[in-house]
Amino acid sequence: MLRRPRLDRSQLESAIHLLREAHRVVVLTGAGISTPSGIPDFRSPGTGLWSHWDPLEIASIWGFREKPQRFYEWIRPLAQKIVQARPNPAHLALVELERLGKLHLLITQNIDALHQKAGSRRVVELHGHLRTVQCLRCRFQDAMDGYLPAFLERGELPVCQRCGSILKPDVVLFGEPLPEEEILMAQEEALRCDLMLVVGSSLEVMPAADLPALAVRRGARLIIVNLGPTPYDHLADVVLHADVAEAMPRIVQGLRG
């Protein structure tokens, strides 16, 4: 079993100090904040979602158009985990950060809605969500709730009530643009914040991964809390390679103290 890295006390204290001094904090979260809730990430060797599937074949818009049944075969176990998942201490710590008046905006790359379940209010979902589905042929849109039980329990695919095509969940697949309003808001807030806090993101998927660099170029401080290294660690004022479910509550506890 892999040993989790121990929290670096000096880095922890530095993160608390920077957050205490900041006036406009923007948070960016990735798959690593949800792994303690039982949702697998994408790139961990052996356990990541891409360990056994080709993402461009399964989770791309052209792959969906060609074989939507294959996409739903892949996402069904993930959707079952998402429905059953509950927010972990890292999600709850960000809710507390918002309650303390420190979190201006929470930007997430996740589609699991665990931030909203935890109680976060200002959430921008860059990669979409599973709350709605739409038809790529006639643009009919509907709530996912009416299709979800049959899909999760029996694998029945959501079918368009107008034209009979298989509906696509409103998640961003490879080859699709990010939702315009959400990415513009994220970029604007990255330019306006004085501190960006990255939690549980490997910072490898563009354009979300460029948000920390955008913030730093405009003079913001940068804190990265992630189990493994990221390509942007060299830009950060503080890097905590730690379990986010342990590190984030400690940071917020230090702020309260």
Q: Which of 91, 104, 115, 127 is catalytic?
A: 127
**Per the structure block, which two tokens stand in for 205?**
């998927």
* Whether the model pTM is above 0.75: yes
- What residues have CB less than 8 Å from 125, skipping those under 6 apart? 108, 110, 111, 113, 179, 182
Could you tell me which of 30, 99, 49 has the C-alpha nearest to residue 244? 30
**Per the structure block, which two tokens stand in for 247?**
């590190």
Per DSSP, 166 falls in state B
pLDDT, position 243: 96
Segment 32-54, tens digit of pLDDT: 999 999 998 765 555 445 446 67
pLDDT, position 1: 43
CATH code for the structural domain at 1-39+87-127+177-257: 3.40.50.1220
Could you tell me which of 229, 193, 188 has the C-alpha nearest to residue 27? 193
Strand partners, 198: 28, 224
Round to whole Å and give the CA distance between 223 and 88: 20
Q: Where do the CATH 3.40.50.1220 domains begin and end in the chain?
A: 1-39+87-127+177-257
Residue-wise DSSP of 57-117: HHSBHHHHHH-HHHHHHHHHHHHHHHHH----HHHHHHHHHHHTT-EEEEEE--SS-HHHH
Q: Where do the CATH 3.30.1600.10 domains begin and end in the chain?
A: 42-84+129-171
Round to whole Å and give the CA distance between 83 and 193: 33
Segment 91-131, tens digit of pLDDT: 999 999 999 999 999 999 999 999 999 999 999 999 999 99
Round to whole Å and give the CA distance between 217 and 145: 42
Round to whole Å and give the CA distance between 253 and 52: 39
Say if residues 14 and 237 touch (Cβ distance below 8 Å): yes
Residue 241 annotated among the catalytic residues of the structure: no
Q: Which residue has the tokens 């490879």?
A: 174
Say if residues 215 and 222 touch (Cβ distance below 8 Å): yes
pLDDT, position 5: 66
- What residues have CB less than 8 Å from 230, skipping those under 6 apart? 198, 201, 202, 203, 204, 224
* Four-way CATH pick for 42-84+129-171: 3.40.50.720, 3.40.50.1370, 1.10.3720.10, 3.30.1600.10: 3.30.1600.10
> Which regions of the chain are under pLDDT 70?
1-5, 42-53, 55
